[in-house]
Amino acid sequence: MEAGLLLMVLPWSALWDRNYFVHVWPQLQPFFASAYLRGGVTGIGVLNLVAGVSEVGRALGPRE
């Protein structure tokens, strides 16, 4: 669940712009700055968070 939260927040933080790969390969900067990539990573984070909450709900829910 923590990974989902990180994937939702990290693409929109300043840390995302100070990326190791951008410093090594500057031609990747437009790719990492793309709102489409940031939105895709955020979407994966949302899916991860929903799956985690679902698992916790099943674990804490009523037993058969």
In this predicted model, what pLDDT tens digit does every residue of 21-42 receive, in sequence order?
888 999 999 999 999 999 999 9
Q: Which residue has the tokens 């031609």?
A: 27
- How would residue 48 be classed by pLDDT, with cut points 50, 70 and 90? very high
Cα 5 to Cα 46: distance, rounded to the nearest angstrom: 8
Q: Cβ(51)–Cβ(6) under 8 Å?
A: no
pLDDT averaged over every residue in the chain: 91
Domain tally, the chain = 1
Cβ-Cβ contacts under 8 Å for 19 (sequence gap 6 or more): 32
Amino acid symbol at 50: V
- Full residue range of the structural domain in which residue 28 is found: 2-60
Residue 46 has pLDDT above 90, yes or no: yes
pLDDT at 2: 86
Q: 19 phi and psi, to 5 degrees?
A: -85, 140
At residue 1, the pLDDT reads 74
